[in-house]
Amino acid sequence: MTVTTAALGAARVISWDRQARRNAWDLATMTAIADAIEAAGGDAEVRCIVLRGSGEHFSAGDDLQAAIEADSTAWAATMESFQRLTRVVLAAPVPAIAAVDGVCVGGALEFAASCDLRLCTDRVLLMTPEVGIGLVASNAGTLLLPEVLGESAARELLLGGEPRDAEWAREHGFATEMVGPDELDARIEHWAAVFSRTSRAAVAATKAMLNERFGALLGEAMDRETHHGVRLFDEDDAKAALRAFAAARRAG
């Protein structure tokens, strides 16, 4: 996996490239993305951060092959890495834009939910498959998804574990905008230009006030998810379900 940062005027575009695995993330990738977000947010010239996968997919979420081979300690580290991604996006003093094309699954979907805007293509596919593989949300999804989607739709997604299409994403507020894949770059450029005209200090203060309502709830949600995630990871049915899901993903 390669993680790169490119300048787009006053924006920084952070992208990851592992197209053969639908841009699934391992620990090193999540660390690199989080580091890049912190670096971009710390640059006084930057007015927004764009986050996107290379090719036709945002991210298939966690690298399940690594998860199959992990023990509960390693799985806890994976969850902490997902949680750091959410924390750095929420803490960034500039808007974070998730450019979501293709699959957006599991922890990657929760990560996108923590962003300020989500520019989605009309071929986006959302899924939180954790309940089908004996696990739970990892990076405050149980807090953030109800905020983004509403309580009913979040429960549908998190408890059912079934894929949802672009129309569902638009209907339930996941997508700030819905465009064709060939229009995505133009909309990124549009929003980069919009934010380039804003006061960084005023935007930082406004974003901090918007996120203040999470307060201690964010850490509490992450602690609960880690507790239950690690507990469930040790169950035999989780490992078997992980292997089956990973095999189905490879076949698909």
pLDDT in tens, 218-243: 999 999 999 999 999 988 778 788 88
Q: Total structural domains in the chain?
A: 1
Tokens, residue 175:
């997508």
Going by C-alpha positions, the residue among 107, 1, 83, 96 that lies closest to residue 51 is: 96
Residue 192 included in any domain: no
pLDDT-based confidence at 249, cuts 50/70/90? low
CA angle 147, 95, 114 (to 5 degrees): 30
Residue 125 included in any domain: yes
Residue 203 included in any domain: no
Domain range for residue 19?
Answer: 2-183
Residue 231 included in any domain: no
**pLDDT tens profile 2-55:** 999 999 999 999 999 999 999 999 999 999 999 999 999 999 999 999 999 999
CATH number at residue 77: 3.90.226.10
The average confidence (pLDDT) of the chain is 95
Residue 20 included in any domain: yes
CA angle 13, 182, 104 (to 5 degrees): 60
